[in-house]
A and B are shown apart, each in its own frame.
Chain A
Amino acid sequence: MNPTLHAVLVFLETWWVELVSGVVIVAVVPLVAGYIVLVERKLMADMQARLGPMRVGPHGLLQPIADAVKLLIKEDIIPDNADKMVFWMAPVVSMTAALTSMGAIAFGPAFQVARDINVGLLFVIGVSSLGIFGIVLGGWASNSHYSIMGALRSTAQLVSYETAAGLALISGLLLAGTLKIRAIVDAQQHFGVWFVFLAPVAFFIYVVASIAETNRAPFDLPEAESELVAGYMTEYSGFRWALYFLGEYANMIVVGAVATTLFLGGWLRPFPNVRWMNWLDALPALFTAAVGAYCVYRAGKQPVRVQTWFMWGVALACFVVALILAVPLLVAPLKFLVPGLHGAFWFLLKISAYIYLFMWLRFTLPRYRFDQLMHLGWYILIPLAIVNVLAVGVAMILEMEYGWNRWLAMLLTTVITLATALFLLRLNDKRAAAASSAAPPPEEPSTEDSYAG
């Protein structure tokens, strides 16, 4: 046999899973991101008493595809004074980091994306943080004031909040005792409880920090539309801009997956070990069937025949998924499919809920100012995260060495952490009050920024 061909075959034999996953990620994530954008626009429209996209497809269901086509055929503009090479590379870096970090995520017991490496969670966090290089380089290469200010804000913000997020994850990891994605979920099954109930403060810190990390409102300062036009993306257009956008939404999926894995029980259904709650297994099939039924109901109200057919198509797809979810439950020989299929369902549902929370906050809250953001990060979240890590550690020692009841230990330490949080907030308010009274405005603006959750 030709030695080159042989080498290629050996390579493929060893790495085919990763290669296939890579192709799948690159193919699927843009589509998913596009539809997340559509969902976001629809939700925003609903909360703002309007309709949102309605023109392309029934209820705008084909809008993401129209948007993608529009972005692809747009003129590609590179500013004259830009550093062309870096300008070209920056969005690629940003998106690559976001997509790569997906490799280690498992979307269910049967859907490990690439492989279950032993530093899984660390890999995800580490690689997704590399995306900041894309932002900084893009901001610098654009050679524009708005871009560089956005990039600088982004760097400072990521450095501050990555610390808090990392410390929050450590609290969860202490409980899990491993970095392997699958083992973390197994640990929660073993404990019989999601870690969010054991370390609520850590989860809260992670939620806040992950919003900041993904540059979402109310922490969207790097691209603060009303201040910096579009921050680091100001000079980008067309497909390059789309890459940044894609990276941002992929990042949202990643942080959602991390939070779900570590705090929300991964692919476990609620009450995984309680036998009389087994009826919950029927929920996935019923849920998708209900969505399908709603589509059938809406199909009759479509103004155009094509839209009616399209609605019927969507309904049919829902029913098929419901069937796929239901059949293994009812047919004994297919029982082995249940954990995989249902696990994926629950996992995706939890990520969706997490992303929904992000969106909800974005529509509701005004934006922080930069100094307030920094104060929140350094004066409140990071100290709180440190205290929380210590408290969780203490609780585990109490439980393992002194045989305390787990819940009692956790309750005690959570109360201590919350007391610290209150203390930090008070301290911060006092500092702000002192700052504003010491230097009368407008020379020194107030730095008051109590965070009420």
Chain B
Amino acid sequence: MQDDAAQNQTLLGADELVLNMGPQHPSTHGVLRVKLKLDGERVRGTECVIGYLHRGVEKIAENRSYQQFAPYVDRMDYVAAVSNGLGYCEAVEKLLNVEAPPRAKVIRTIMTELQRIASHLVWLGTHALDIGALTPLFYCLREREEILKIFEKYCGARLTTHAFRIGGLQYEAYDSFEKDVERFCKDFERRIQEYVDLLTGNSIWIGRTRNVGVLSAEDCIALGASGPVLRASGVKWDLRKAQPYAAYDQYNFQIPVGTNGDTYDRYMVRMEEMRQSRLICLQAIENIPAGPILGKVGKVLKPPAGEIYHSIEAPKGILGYYIVSDGTTQPYRVRIRPPSFINLQALDKMARGHLVADVVAIIGTLDIVLGEVDR
């Protein structure tokens, strides 16, 4: 486009148009507000206004005991509550220096991978809807429903599950757990093909996503963008491989990477991640070790003074917990590293020079959940 000197000059010499997108807008995925500076329909700059959903989760943590706080983390990324819970429970376990028993670890892995599929399905459906394809949303929700049914059978809740406990699991897997997961995984392969048929080769879809919102690997790392966004830029890095947690070191799976770092690559990476998650689930249900499900933790948790940082590969990126203990039953400080919040920072870089329609596609491809951005 124009060089820097002409940055404030629009094409026709008119004033910049400031378009207020959100917080009530069909495709800002919640209460995100973006101020778009436009030259005609071309974006000259963006400014995110966030915090509409701020509930002070980190402050709440300082006034709850360790167990009491666990359900709150489910309310951050509410489409991937199980992953949030896993991160928190493992962080507190590290702080306490205890370890969950193997059986608990495997069940945790299965649940978390199912949650990853569910989260990606919500992303796919809404992303396609933003780009104007109405139908994939309902197909995605149909499959997600099957996952939520498994969650419901397991712990009684569907969305904010609070599925795990510090030290292991509260509930034993129900009788037909393996069978349900297997049935879902067997079915899911065919279902993914439906999305592929609708979108992958569609020339409108390709036109709308190729070269839109390009982020190079250097940009990604500099901006802290993680998860599928980082992998689509060609960085073959996944915490499940780099620093395995739960039972991920026992399973074979690939890390899909993209090459261009555009919206289409992110789409392809997430699609492949769903397939890989499915494979992990299939491997895991084959051999769930017997044994206890809850490790040796007391009724009252009093971690020795000190601090811990633990992060997991949540569906949206690195989800980290930095917990400081002062030796009492309540955490002194809980800091949550929210992947959505940090990925959203890349929006400005990605959207500059694109059209308004692309901003919608870019917000969709970042896969943000405002509950997690604002916490």
A contacting B, Cβ–Cβ less than 8 Å: yes
- Alpha-carbon distance A328/B291, docked complex (angstroms): 81
Interface string of B345-375 (1 = CB under 8 A from A): 0000111111111101000000000000000
Closest to B2 in A: A443
12 contacts between A and B (CB under 8 A): A49-B139, A224-B357, A225-B26, A226-B130, A367-B204, A368-B204, A368-B208, A369-B355, A441-B262, A442-B212, A442-B214, A448-B206
CB pair A218 B132 closer than 8 Å: yes
B139 to chain A: which residues have CB within 8 Å? Answer: 48-49
Is the Cβ of A217 less than 8 Å from the Cβ of B355?
no
Max chain A C-beta neighbours (<10 A), residue from B205, B207, B351: B207
- Sample of 14 further A-B pairs with CB below 8 A, known A366-B204, A368-B207, A449-B203: A145-B20, A218-B204, A226-B27, A228-B356, A366-B128, A366-B199, A367-B133, A371-B355, A442-B213, A442-B351, A445-B354, A446-B210, A448-B207, A451-B203
For B361, give the chain A residue with the smallest CB separation: A369
On whether the beta carbons of A365 and B138 are closer than 8 Å, the reply is: no
Please give the distance in Å from A366's CB to the nearest CB on chain B: 4
Given A367-B132, A368-B204, A445:B358 Cβ within 8 A = yes
Once the chains are docked, how many angstroms separate the CA of A228 from the CA of B356? 9
Given known contacts A366-B128, A366-B133, is B202 in contact with A227 (CB within 8 Å)? no
A217:B132 contact, CB within 8 angstroms: yes
- Contact bitstring B199-243, A, C-beta under 8 A = 1, else 0: 100111111101111100000000000000000000000000000
A273 at the interface (CB under 8 A from B): no
Least Cβ–Cβ distance between B41 and chain A, in angstroms: 6
Residues in A neighbouring B41, C-beta threshold 8 A: 149, 370
Known interface pairs A48-B139, A229-B26, A366-B208. Does A452 touch B203 (Cβ–Cβ under 8 Å)? yes
A155 within 8 A of B: no
What separation, in Å, do the CA atoms of A225 and B360 have in the docked complex? 11
The residues of A that contact B137 with a CB separation of less than 8 Å are: 48
Contact partner, B350, options A362, A436, A442, Cβ 8 Å: A442
In the complex, what residues of A have CB within 8 A of residue B203's CB? 449-452
State whether A441 and B356 are in contact (beta carbons under 8 Å apart), knowing that A225-B26, A227-B27, A229-B25 are contacts in the complex: no
**Which B residues are CB-close (under 8 A) to A441?**
211-212, 214, 262, 353
Asked if residues A366 and B131 are in contact (CB atoms below 8 Å), the reply is yes
A interface residue count range (under 10 / 10 to 19 / 20 to 34 / 35 or more)? 35 or more
CA distance A145 to B130 in the complex (A): 19
User: Which B residues are CB-close (under 8 A) to A443?
Assistant: 1, 352-353
From A50, A369, A449, contact of B358 by CB (8 A): A369
Q: Does A127 contact B (CB under 8 A)?
A: no
- CB closest chain-B residue, reference A371: B355
- 0/1 string, A39-76, CB within 8 A of B gives 1: 00000100111100000000000000000000000000
> When the two chains form their complex, are residues B205 and A366 in contact, meaning their CB atoms are under 8 A apart?
yes
In the A-B complex, list the 8 residue pairs whose CB atoms are closest, starting with the nearest. A367-B132, A48-B138, A446-B211, A226-B27, A366-B133, A366-B132, A441-B214, A366-B131
A442, B354: Cβ atoms under 8 Å? yes
**A221 CA to B203 CA, complexed, in Å:** 17
* Complex contacts, A451 vs chain B, CB 8 Å: 203
Please indicate the chain B residues that have their CB under 8 angstroms from the CB of A445 in the complex. Answer: 211-212, 353-355, 358
Knowing A370-B41, A442-B213, the reply to whether A363 touches B135 (Cβ < 8 A) is yes
The secondary structure that dominates the A interface is loop
Q: For B215, give the chain A residue with the smallest CB separation.
A: A442
A444 at the interface (CB under 8 A from B): yes
Interface check B255, CB cutoff 8 A: no
A372 interface residue per 8 A CB criterion: yes
Query: Does B134 lie at the interface of the complex (its beta carbon under 8 Å from any beta carbon of A)?
Result: yes
Task: Tell me, rounded to whole Å, the shortest Cβ–Cβ distance linking B314 to chain A.
Answer: 25
User: Which residue, of A49, A365, A372, has the highest number of chain B Cβ atoms within 10 A?
Assistant: A365
Does B142 reach chain A (CB closer than 8 Å)?
A: yes
Q: How far is the CB of B114 from chain A (nearest CB, A)?
A: 21
Give Cα distance in the complex from A442 to B44, angstroms: 12
A162 on the B face (CB < 8 A): no
**What's the Cα separation between A363 and B357 when bound, in Å?**
19
A50 CA to B145 CA, complexed, in Å: 13
A365 touches B132 (CB 8 A): yes
Report whether B199 and A227 are in contact in the complex, using a CB–CB cutoff of 8 Å: no
Residues of B within 8 A of A366 (CB): 128, 131-133, 199, 202, 204-205, 208
Q: How far is the CB of B266 from chain A (nearest CB, A)?
A: 14
Contact B142 A369 (CB under 8 A): no
Residues of B within 8 A of A362 (CB): 134
Chain A residues, CB < 8 A from B132: 217-218, 220, 224, 226, 365-368
A405 CB-CB contact with B under 8 Å: no
The residue of chain A having its C-beta at the shortest distance from the C-beta of B199 within the complex is A366
**Cβ–Cβ < 8 Å partners of B134 in chain A:** 44, 48, 217, 362-363
Q: Cβ of A118 < 8 Å from any Cβ of B?
A: no
Interface centre among B135, B138, B204 (most CB of A within 10 A): B204
Q: Does B155 contact A (CB under 8 A)?
A: no
Is B17 interfacial (CB 8 A cutoff)? Answer: yes
The docked-state distance in angstroms from the alpha carbon of A367 to that of B205 is 8
Q: Which residues of A contact B206 (CB under 8 A)?
A: 448
Q: Does B129 contact A (CB under 8 A)?
A: yes
B138, A370: Cβ atoms closer than 8 Å = no
Bound Cα distance from A360 to B1, whole angstroms: 38
A365 x B204 contact (CB < 8 A):
yes
Judged by a CB distance under 8 angstroms, whether A278 is at the interface is: no
Per-residue B-contact encoding for A307-327, CB less than 8 Å = 1, 0 else:
000000000000000000000
- Contact string against B for A residues 427-453, beta-carbon threshold 8 Å, 1 for contact and 0 otherwise: 000000000100101111110111110
